[in-house]
Each structure stands twice: as C-alpha cells, then as structure tokens.
C-alpha cells in the first residue's frame, strides 16, 4: 500500500487553521484573490494527496519535461510511474518537487536515477526535507547506477545542517527519519520485481557521462520504457519492443544549429557539443517505429517547443517515420499504458 495519502484527520485540523489565515490574507488590501486561490488549491493538494487505486493499471505523469535551461513551464527531468497504488519516480531535477506537489504525490514509494547530471538530481534534497515535514517514517528506497550512493550521501550532507535546525526548532514534529534512505547501486538487470511490478535497468550511451541508464516497467501486461539521456542505441529498440509507451528524450539538431549560428563562440561550441550526446527527433521516431511502440512521448526536448508553432517545427519529419501517436510531453501530462 502506498504511503502517499496522509492522515486526513490531522490535516483537517491544519487545513482549518490555514483556511482561516488565508481568509484574513485575502481580505487584506492589495492582495490578488486569484493568486491566493491558486495558492489555496496547491495547499490543499499538499495536504490531501492523490487518491491511488490499487486495482488500477500502469500509467505515468510527466513531472518534468525540461532541460537545464530555466523555464517557467517545464521543470527539469522527472517522470512518475504509477502501477496500481505504487509510485516510482525516475529522476528529480530542478522544479520537480513543485510538480510533484501539484500532482499530489509528494512521497513516491521508490526513486530511480538514470545518471547524475544536475538537471536530474537537483531537487533530491528538497524531496527528502518534504518527506520529513509530511511525516514519512521509513527510509526512501533508491536505485541507481554506480555513483548513486556518493551523490545521495553528498546531497544529504549538504542538507544536514538544515535538518539539525529543523529538529531543534520543531522537535519530534519534524520526523528526521523521513530523511533516511536505502540506496542500492545496480548494474543493468532486473532491479525490482515485487507486487507484480518488474523494473529492468539497461545501459544507454550519454558519454562523457558514465554510467547512464534507462528503465523498463512491466505491470499487468503493460509496459513503459523511459530512455534517460542518450544517443541512439540498439538496446533502446530492443527494450521498447511492443511497449505501450516509450518516453524518450529528443533534440531537433537542425533547430539547435540554427540557434547556435546566432550565438557567440563559447555558446556555439557548447550547443554543438550537446548535439553529440543526445538523440535527434528523427532518430527517436525511428526507434519508436522499429520497436513497434504504441505511443511515443517526447521529453527533455531541445530546443523547448514552447508553443504550437514550435511543436510543429520540432516534430517536423517525425510523422513520416513513425505513424502512431506522438505526444509532445508537458509537465503534469498523464498518459495511460
């Protein structure tokens, strides 16, 4: 059973006090009621959590679909897999904690890392703090490639003074046990096989970043494959054979080149370097076609297709290769397998 749903009686007491406070603030001059209403909705989602159905099938929520370049509309890399009432978060990049709150799943049951670029790990410390705030009392299981323990320990060390401050301030109300972890470093293999959910880690190629992995999720006859960051590799087609959803990073290298020509020498070099270790949009279409994937969801898109015109330009040429559904991923988008 997932621990995402908090004790509602306790939260009701907190919410009552919070509503009274918010009512007073709304009545204050110069305060935007629309902004406060939006804050109230987020506040409620934090307390209530998402209702998860143990009998449900396999689905996902695109938590973060962005890149290291800051965006108001896209958090950095994070994908939430939901198998019945069990939740698995793949990566936790900058801004993804906000999106998890909006999705109503602040306490995923399992965290997976694909690799250790900052845009895939940077909200980890904040996630652990929020677990303690919300009363989690069991260690968070974490699985990743070699290096996961070093990264996790380093981030928790960076947050250790903050943890001490909060324990001294709040006492037992701040559950420091919620910031405990259980880290497993794995080689490509089946890394989880419980409750009907099978998760397979496989190696990808994001050099000079090593190791880098993707994951395949299988549950109740359905499957989802999450690529992580990578160039086109044969194993992606193999792992995605017949999958219901392929979530794949994508770069439109022609658009990147057009933009690079307008940059200075330093940024031009970095843009062209970036093209060497990501998968082009047409290569992603080829992978989905050759694997027979039923749906293709694009994420970690460069450049950011920030409107329908850019979406058209970004995906141009893909539909001629892959004839099934192509979904341009957006934060908080939900897709069922």
104-134 in b/e form (b: 16+ CB < 10 A) is bbbbbbbbbbbbbbebbbbbbbbbbbbbbbb
Question: How far is the C-alpha of 119 from the C-alpha of 68, rounded, in Å?
Answer: 6
Bridge partner list, 245: 224
Bridge partner list, 287: none
Q: Cis link prior to 244 (omega < 30° from 0)?
A: no
Give the single-character DSSP code of 172: G
Catalytically active residues are: 119
Question: How far is the C-alpha of 127 from the C-alpha of 67, rounded, in Å?
Answer: 19
Q: Kindly report the three-state secondary structure assignment for every residue of 268-298.
A: HHHHHHHHCCCCEHHHHHHHHHHHCCCEEEE
Q: Give the chain's end-to-end CA distance (angstroms, integer).
A: 21
Cβ partners under 8 Å of residue 224, min gap 6: 58, 60, 81, 216, 217, 243, 244, 245, 246, 247, 337
Q: Is 229 exposed, middle or buried (0-12, 13-18, 19+ CB in 10 A)?
A: buried
């Amino acid at each position: 059973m997932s621990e995402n749903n908090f004790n509602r009686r306790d939260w009701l007491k907190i919410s009552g006090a919070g509503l009274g406070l918010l009512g007073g603030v709304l009545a204050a001059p110069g305060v935007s009621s629309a902004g406060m209403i939006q804050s109230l909705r987020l506040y409620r989602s934090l307390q209530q959590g998402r209702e998860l159905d143990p009998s449900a099938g396999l689905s996902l929520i695109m938590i973060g679909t962005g890149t290291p370049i800051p965006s108001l509309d896209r958090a950095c890399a994070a994908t939430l897999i939901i198998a019945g009432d069990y939740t698995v978060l793949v990566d936790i990049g900058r801004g993804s904690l906000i999106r998890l709150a909006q999705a109503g799943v602040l306490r995923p049951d399992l965290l997976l890392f694909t690799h250790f670029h900052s845009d895939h790990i940077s909200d980890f410390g904040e996630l652990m703090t929020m677990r303690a705030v919300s009363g989690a009392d069991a260690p968070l299981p974490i699985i990743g490639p070699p290096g996961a323990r070093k990264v996790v320990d380093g981030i928790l060390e960076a947050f250790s003074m903050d943890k001490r401050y909060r324990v001294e301030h709040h006492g037992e109300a701040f559950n420091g046990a919620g910031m405990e972890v259980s880290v497993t470093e794995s080689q490509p293999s089946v890394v989880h096989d419980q409750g009907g959910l099978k998760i397979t880690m496989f190696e990808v190629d994001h050099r000079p970043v090593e190791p880098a992995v993707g994951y395949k999720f299988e549950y109740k006859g359905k499957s989802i494959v999450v690529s992580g960051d990578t160039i086109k590799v044969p194993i992606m087609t193999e792992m995605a054979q017949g999958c219901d959803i392929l979530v794949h990073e994508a770069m439109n290298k022609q658009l990147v080149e057009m933009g690079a020509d307008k940059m200075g020498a330093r940024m031009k070099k970095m843009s062209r370097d970036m093209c060497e270790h990501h998968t082009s949009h047409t290569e992603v279409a080829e992978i989905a076609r050759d694997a027979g994937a039923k749906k293709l969801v694009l994420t970690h898109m460069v450049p950011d297709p920030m409107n329908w015109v850019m979406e058209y330009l970004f995906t141009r040429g893909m539909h001629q290769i892959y004839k099934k559904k192509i979904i341009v991923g957006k934060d908080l988008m939900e897709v069922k397998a």
